[in-house]
Amino acid sequence: MKKLLYIASICIASLFSACDDYLTVESPDQLTSSSFWRNQSDAEAGLAAAYSQLYLMTYSGDMWSFPEEAELAIMNRIPILMTYSGDMWSFPEIKWPVEAYREDIIQLGSDALNYPNWVELGNYTYTNGNSQFSYYWQCYYKGISFANQVIEKTAEIPDENIDAATREQLVNEGYFIRAYYHMQLLLNWKEIIVRDKYITDPAELSKPLSSREDAWNFIIEDLKRATSLPATRDADNVGRATSGSAYAYLGFAYLTRAYEEATNKDSYLASAIEAFNQVKGYELVNNFSTMFSGDNKNSKESIFEIQFSMSSANGATYRTQFHRWIGVSELGGWDEILPSQTLISEFKKEGETATTGRYDSRMYATLFFNCDYYNDGNGRVYGYDYNDWFDNKERVAFRKFMPSTYEGLNQNYSAINVPLMRYANVLLMKAEALNEQGHPEQAIPLINEVRSVHGDMPPMTGTSQEAVRAQIEHERMIEFPLENYRWYDLRRWGKLSSALQAAGRTGFNEDKNSFYPTPLTELNANDALK
């Protein structure tokens, strides 16, 4: 994208490539109906606003009490003029506590225990007033509002100001983003509000929760529309959704729904496989760790990825302190999140059977731990033995999403991209769908491909449906730590209670904690929910 507009009045953030040259900002003093939604550049700026909520933005100044207040502000052309605090810690402090703290493979670090609203998430003692998932709900509905504007307002731009093909592409991109936000909400809440139109009347703000079936139907139809997006993006548009992104999430939606609606399971599995088959042009990356260290942004494996940059051109900041949040105190971090013993044991489950003579290579790419690899000069931890950092302690820390160099470790900020959907996920989800169809023989090669390329592991043993099912569960557990799929996997398989109990997470109640409650802010503001 040659130029993206930042419209500060409605908190628009840019889509940007890995190249910092395109962080161009043009900020009009105010937004009016006569000065916006006039041409292609305006439509791209509106789309940038829709993408902005991938960052789970918070703003300086007063927060909106619930998502649709932003819609009213926009609707009435009220200049908000808040400043995005993108170089702060708000991004990790919303996304990972909400999505990851519940998982059996995660435990809270020492500093996290100082934040009661985080502890509530990890202990399953939260109420509907928890601030973290309330912000999560708020941000994604804000993104939905922006996406609805793109879908509706782009269609109204005069023909002479935008060509037909570009108009269609931008609208379909709006459908993808709208579907993505709705899907993330539906993965975390049992019932959500389907926002299918841009709000122009305050009376429309109050709307009841949709049935889960209706929500899935809505998401799937939006994703189908988005499959007509381009298969690839040029250097100016890296990070934007593609047809592969749409097909991957469409398959994920069908796979999830297959377990929820038993009477239609076979049909949804078939649809999932059909969608996964259309995810083309991607490959697994041999060096697993580089996808999470900033060394291989938008890799050949990446299907959809949140973009970060160290640039602060024109005041736009898309850097984070994520490495401080992930890192343990010994590595200059804040000690907010740690791998659980359950995860460590799972990595070691197959023993030192990799072709390297060690454990599964994904273990060393994901964790720092006391072993010969980090103490014999081969692995090293930022140029030093593990024991130099950890003083011979049996201390395990996350390596995933940490900078690859000592220099990067010591920077105040980092700009490591966050992959949201990878080709490995598509292969393993496709394997799962095939196996559930009764075709373990077709699933096994897909599993082995991931094992070989990412783990340096030999082919799996066992050929039965149960053996393949168990292997998929193992592979997904060690493939995606900190990518926050574990909760959705366990719920899909009906194993939340058993897995959490095995991990010693005693506070979980399946009836109460499988999904988050509707946030209190929404209940208070939405008359249809009273």
- Phi, psi of 63, rounded to the nearest 5 degrees: -80, 150
Rg of the chain in Å (alpha carbons): 23
The pLDDT, as a whole number, for residue 36 is 87
Look at the chain and count its residues.
530
Write the burial class of residue 301 (CB in 10 Å: 0-12 exposed, 13-18 middle, 19+ buried): buried
What is the identity of the amino acid at 166?
T
Task: Please give the torsion angle defined by the CA atoms of residues 436, 441, 444 and 449, in that order, rounded to the nearest 10 degrees.
Answer: -120
Beta bridge partners of 320: 414
The three-state (H, E, C) secondary structure of 370-432, written as one string: CCHHHCCCCCCECCECHHHHHCCCCCCEECCCCCCCHHHHCCCCECCCEEEEEHHHHHHHHHH
**470 conformational bin, left if phi > 0, alpha if psi -120 to 50, beta if neither:** alpha
The pLDDT, as a whole number, for residue 21 is 29
| Alpha carbons 349 and 312: distance in angstroms, whole number | 45
The pLDDT, as a whole number, for residue 135 is 95
Structure tokens at 134: 């309330």
Residues near 355 by Cβ (< 8 Å), separated by ≥ 6? 456, 457, 458
Q: Are 443 and 351 in contact (CB under 8 A)?
A: no
Of 522, 525, 499, residue with least CA distance to 510: 499
Tell the residue number behind the tokens 């996350």, with chain if given.
398
The pLDDT, as a whole number, for residue 67 is 33
What does each of the 530 residues of the chain score in pLDDT, given as a tens digit? 222 323 323 333 333 333 332 222 233 333 445 678 999 999 999 999 999 899 986 543 333 323 333 333 333 322 222 333 444 567 899 999 999 999 999 999 999 999 999 999 999 999 999 999 999 999 999 999 999 999 999 999 999 999 999 999 999 999 999 999 999 999 999 999 999 999 888 888 899 999 999 999 999 999 999 999 999 999 989 999 999 999 999 999 999 999 999 999 999 999 999 999 999 999 999 999 999 999 999 999 999 999 999 887 655 567 889 999 999 999 999 999 999 999 999 999 999 999 999 999 999 999 999 999 999 878 999 999 999 999 989 999 999 999 999 999 999 999 999 999 999 999 999 999 999 999 999 999 999 999 999 999 999 999 999 999 999 999 999 999 999 999 999 999 999 999 999 999 999 999 999 999 999 999 999 999 98
Of 425, 427, 458, 439, residue with least CA distance to 353: 458
Classified as helix, coil or strand, 299 is coil
| Alpha carbons 109 and 113: distance in angstroms, whole number | 7
The pLDDT, as a whole number, for residue 89 is 62
Q: Model's pTM, two decimal places?
A: 0.91
β strands within 43-142, DSSP E: 106-108
Within 227-360, residue ranges assigned H as helices are 243-260, 265-277, 322-326, 341-347
The pLDDT, as a whole number, for residue 316 is 57
